[in-house]
Amino acid sequence: MKQKILVAGGTGYIGSHTTVELQNAGYEVVIIDDLSNSNIEVLDGIERITGIRPEFIQLDLKDKEGTREALKAHPGIKGIILFAASKAVGESVQQPLKYYRNNVVTLVNLLELMPEFNIEGIVFSSSCTVYGQPDPENLPVTENAPIKPATSPYGNTKQINEEIIRDTIHAGAPFKSIILRYFNPIGAHPTAEIGELPNGVPQNLIPYLTQTAMGIRKELSVFGDDYDTPDGSCIRDYINVVDLAKAHVIAMDRMLGGKSLDNVEIFNLGTGNGVSVLELINTFEAATGVKVP
C-alpha cells in the first residue's frame, strides 16, 4: 500500500518538483496550497510528467480548523513536507508581521495537529540563511557551522521554526523531523512542464533572467560589483531543483523507514561549489544564444 504524504505548498517551485519525485517513488501525494504565489495549472504539468494527478486542496494553512478538516478528509497521511511560506527577503523587512504570521503560525498549526492524526514525521524546508554570511576560511559550510543572527525577518522565521521543531520534539511530541537547509535552488524539470513560475515580479535571479531574455522584463540589474570575488559579483551555491526534490524523497524514506539517527536531524542541501552572478548570466547567454539586456 502506498504511503500518503501531505505536501504543504505543493504547487510552488520546489513543492511541485518534489511532488513529481514523491509520485515517481511510489508515494501518494495530497497537496495543500493557497495559490498565493503559484498557479493551479501546475497540477496539469505534474500529471503530464507522472501520469498521476495529486489530490489538491486550496487552503490557507493558517486556518487551523480548515486544516483539521482537510486532514480528516484524507486519512492515513504518514508524513508532511512543509514548503508553504512567504520567502522574499526584501518584502519581509517591509512587512515582518506578514512573515511571522505566514511562516510561524502555519508550522505551529501543523505540529499541533500531527499527533491527532498519527502523522509520523515532518520534513521542514529551511535555508542556508541561518548561517549568515559564510566565513571564507570555513568553506564549504557544514551542518556544524554556528547559527548567526538573522539579517531579515524571513531568515529569522527559519531560525525560529527550527527551534520550535526541536523544542516540540524534545518535549516528547510523538513524531520525528528532518530539517533541510537549502542553498540556492535553480533550474526546472527536464520536461519543461513545471519550473519556477512565481506570481508577480520574480524575487530570484533565474526567473528574472529568463523573463528578461524573453522580453517580459526590460532589463536585468546586477546589484553589487565590489565583492571580494574574481569578477566582483556575489557568489552563491546553486543546486538543481530536481536534485533538491529527490533529497526530500530520501529524507522522507529515511524518516518513515526508521533510519533516522535522532528524532531531529539537520542536513544541508547544496553542491559545495560557488558560482558568481556574472558567471551564471554568461553561462545562460552561452547556452541560449540570447544576450540579456
- DSSP-derived secondary structure letter, 268: E
Q: What does the block give as the cell for 254? A: 529515511
Measured CA to CA, the distance from residue 209 to residue 276 in angstroms comes to: 14
CA-based nearest residue to 253, from 64, 27, 101: 27
Catalytic residues: 154
How many Å separate Cα 163 from the centre of its chain? 18
- On whether the CB atoms of residues 6 and 61 are closer than 8 A, the answer is no
Task: Please report, for the chain, how many H helices and E strands are present, in that order.
Answer: 10, 10
Classified as helix, coil or strand, 129 is helix
Q: How far is Cα 12 from Cα 86, in angstroms, rounded to an integer?
A: 11
| Rounded Cα gap, residues 156 and 289, in angstroms | 40
